[in-house]
Structure 1
Amino acid sequence: MKALVLSGGSGTRLRPFTYSMPKQLIPIANRPVIEHVLDGIRALGVTEVGVVVGERRPEIEAVLGDGSALGVRITYLSQQQPLGLAHAVSVAREFLGDDDFVMYLGDNMLPQGVTEIAAEFRAERPSAQVVVCKVPDPRAFGVAEVDPDGRVLRLVEKPAQPRSDLALVGVYFFTPDIHRAVAAIVPSARGELEITDAIQWLVAEGADVRAREYSGYWKDTGRVEDVLECNRELLDGITRSVRGEVDERSVLIGEVIVEESARVVNSRIEGPVVVGRGSVVENSHIGPHTAIGRDCLLSDTWVDHSIALDGATVSGVRGVHGSLIGRSAAVTSVRSKHHHRLVVGDHTQVEVAA
């Protein structure tokens, strides 16, 4: 079996961050989303991975390289325009050959993995097997209508009146039968080749198409709120490790990771928290569910439930909560009781105490 990871798309819901970095490189617990995805693929015993990329290929390739550091072998496949998930399958046709494959959206997090679902697909080899999850409001998702035996009867993309609460979660297993389906469909109203249309074509042709439910934590990291929630989920699973420098005036409580060359000075850190390499935390209080990237400076501040990307500075500001601070961004205080000085980019949200 091979794997196909889709890493195109513009990530409009994560602007302004995605103006300067692909959404798949947004860090969750100090690792890019796409690295977590590749961990999940490697856990299936799959090492041949095609990564479908658009114009952000140089940035993704700079982080992943040839995949050897993550235990996989990566082939980069260029998709000039984001013309749909089924179009990505057609772009990867030569790479995939006649092998079965798992297709994984590069911004989806399933930390509990899909090893049992993959094993079932390998054993029984239906033409397609979709991974679904029960959601309270399926209208924002592709929805699978399934019979009692788990066979897919119908797939509907973002139905106004869903007849099922089983949403497609962005992981699909296919035999080479999917290539006939992709070749047979036409673009949807939004001009894309939809993978749901391709799978529905297989259903209409009488092929064996199944749905298997994923019961673990699942998040599409498409919005800032989703990134922060997923960060909390993953940090809850870390184990204490202190390889950096912590002075005698500092207190670490619970599961805290201080990476090599990081320094904690006269500060209190309440886990789960990770402090990346080369970062300095001084005279500060860092609350739970906070991920501090590499080479950051947090000074005279109180931060919790937040993510600071590499090179960020937070200084002299109290009560930073539920925040995502960009690479090399600076959050500092001014000596004024009446004014705030802000430099705010496009599509940015800033909340200031009244």
Structure 2
Amino acid sequence: MTGGESSTVGIILAGGRGERAKPLTLESADYIRSKALLPFAGRRLIEWVVDACREQGIRRFHVVAQGLENRSQIKLVLGHGERYGVDVRYSRSSFDRYNVGSGAATLHNLEQWDLTERALVLPVDSVFDFSLAGLEAAHDAADAVVTVASVARSPREVAGKYGAIRTGADGLVAGFVEKPALDRLHGLFPDAADDEDVIPTNAGMYLVDCARLRRAAREPALMRQAQRRLDWGGELLPWLVRHGHRVAAHRIGRLGDLGNVEDYLVTLRDVLSGDYLGMNQLMPRPQSEDPRYWIHESSLAARDDLTGTTLADKIAEGSVQIGPGVRIGRHVSIGADVRLEYTDIGDGAEVCEGARLSGASCGDSAVIGPYAEISDSYVGPMAEIRSARVRPARLDGYSAVGDGARVFAGARLSGVSVYPRLNVPAIAGLPAGTTLTSSDDILRWV
């Protein structure tokens, strides 16, 4: 995948507030963590994005940020790109008022940076398997103003959730259908079976001819729209197609959306399973391929407080079982009789004896108590899942526990989100989709 330097520049759209991903995007109930800084498989999302693009030759990046928290948090991680071997610039704070939607933010900042070359525009809350060279070739062949990266999905997957892309006889995009019902999809794509990945959907990544797009943006109707609200998928692309601008589509390998708790955990599982070829090249080599796992040497040598044995000893003797898709960071303590699969464990975390984790993410310095059962759930940095053999805590159904929160022994959460720093007693029976934002919310269920 690594190649020479590309003339294409990267534009990273990082100004969203991460509302769908709460509590993952919260450091406290009133302090938002930028989506760009979400921890994912041992790094921040924006680091994965920059590295994936750099490996394909992009060396210059422009970050569209928004507001003090968002801009300062991203800059603390990326700086001006020195650590990553790239050059990074940021949108001016005075332009924040123009960033009314992803499309408007792109158009306004193309002018600010005076970009005339080709640019790859991509969000910061997704991971992709894509070939920049393939996108560029399709873009040039179509003589396109914009080439949309598309992902093929089945009709059943698309129905009511994703927008479908219609193409004409010339291969150019003829229109977009936003979240169509299944029967309409069958009308638009009569040869598509419900379980076949054949319907092109917008992946949220765009290769653009900056000079031509800037000229299109000077048309009065589009200028007025960009002052009010202009998103890429719902407004800018349909406007370009309706007004005769050449928009192409090119299929990429894979897209992992990280915009909500379920999608985050599903994508994490796929990455740990090795399903993202690009991510495989960016991650360290696994210690084992069958089962596939990564364990930092400092954690293999760490001794738990109860038995005094190292994790390496426990794995060798079989008292700890490491299944497929496991990543364990630095200085992690793992107790005896622990079972792990498809789980990411951050630096300094503690997993006590008897715990069972599957499809889970545990942030830095999180504590998973004895005999806790956690599946398909997120436990934030410094969160604590208290548990006991006779009263195990159980989390499943895409639950999420925010930073520094504590869940007490005997609690049973299924599809429940807990905001940072809350104390959740031994409650059960909360409906899936419940969000606990304050102690008052908790009191209603006690």
Asked whether the two chains share a fold, i.e. TM above 0.5, the reply is yes
- 1:288 maps to which of 322, 341, 351: 341
Find the counterpart in structure 1 of residue 119 from structure 2.
101
Deviation at 1:217, TM superposition (A): 2.4
Equivalent residue runs for 1:267-282 within 5 Å = 267-282=320-335
1:329-344 paired onto structure 2 within 5 Å: 329-333=383-387, 340=410
Alignment CA distance shift 1:18-1:329 (3 Å) = same
How far apart, in 1, do the equivalents of 2:129 and 2:205 lie? 13
Q: 1:209 to 1:342 in 2, by over 3 A?
A: closer
Q: Displacement of 1:115 after TM fit?
A: 3.7
SS at 2:116 equivalent: coil
Counterpart of 1:208 (choices 219, 225, 246) is 246
Cα 1:291–1:25 change in 2 (3 A) is: same
Q: 2:145 is matched by which residue type in structure 1?
A: S
- Residue 230 of structure 1 and its aligned partner are, at CA, apart by 0.8
C-alpha distance in 2 between matches for 1:2 and 1:220: 22
Distance change >3 Å, CA 233–CA 122, structure 1 → 2: same
Distance of aligned partners of 1:337 and 1:311 in 2 relative to their CA distance in 1, 3 Å threshold: closer
Among 242, 247, 256, the alignment partner of 2:293 is 256
How many pairs were matched up? 343
Runs of 4+ with deviation above 6 angstroms: 187-190, 341-344, 350-354
Q: Distance in 2 between matches of 1:111 and 1:5?
A: 16
Alpha-carbon separation, structure 1, partners of 2:224 and 2:19:
22
Structure 1 gaps, min length 5: 243-251
More helix by share: 2
Superposition RMSD on alpha carbons, in Å? Answer: 3.3
Q: Distance in 2 between matches of 1:255 and 1:331?
A: 26
Judge conservation of contact 2:287–2:294 (CA < 8 Å) in 1. Answer: yes
Q: Distance in 2 between matches of 1:141 and 1:194?
A: 15
- Partner Cα distance (1:341, 1:142) in 2: 39
Q: Distance in 1 between matches of 2:389 and 2:47?
A: 42
Select which of 45, 57, 76 maps to 1:62. Answer: 76
For 1:42-94, what per-residue CA distance to the aligned partner results, in whole angstroms no more than 9, with x for missing partners?
23311111111123122222222222333321112146365111211134223
Structure 2 counterpart SS, 1:316? coil
Extract unaligned runs of 5+ from structure 2.
1-7, 28-32, 190-198, 275-279, 303-309, 315-319, 393-408, 430-446
For 1:270 and 1:103, locate their aligned partners in 2 and report how far apart those are by CA, in whole Å.
37
Residue 50 of structure 2 is aligned with which of 38, 49, 59? 38
Q: Distance in 1 between matches of 2:267 and 2:161?
A: 19
Q: Aligned partner of 1:275: which letter?
A: I
1:326 to 2:407 alignment: no
Q: 1:123 to 1:71 in 2, by over 3 A?
A: farther
Corresponding position of 2:87: 73
Contact 1:298 / 1:313 at 8 angstroms: preserved in 2?
yes
Paired letter, 1:92: N
Question: In structure 1, how many angstroms separate the alpha carbons of the residues matched to 2:329 and 2:117?
Answer: 40
Is 1:83 the counterpart of 2:100? The answer is: yes
Contact 1:4 1:104 in 2 (8 A): yes
Larger radius of gyration: 2
Does the residue aligned with 1:129 lie in a helix, a strand or coil? Answer: strand
TM-score, L = length of structure 2:
0.68
Give 1:150's aligned amino acid.
Answer: G
**% identity of equivalent residues:** 25
Q: Which amino acid aligns with 2:345?
A: I
Give the Å deviation of 1:293.
1.0
TM-fit CA distance, 1:327: 1.0
How far residue 220 of structure 1 moved from its aligned partner, in angstroms, is 1.5
| 1:16-53: CA deviation from partner (whole Å, max 9, x where unpaired) | 12122222322332222222222332233111111111
Q: Is the 8 A contact 1:25 1:60 kept in 2?
A: yes
TM-score, length of structure 1 as denominator length? 0.84
The residue number in structure 2 matching 1:177 is 212
Give the match's secondary structure for 1:13.
Answer: coil
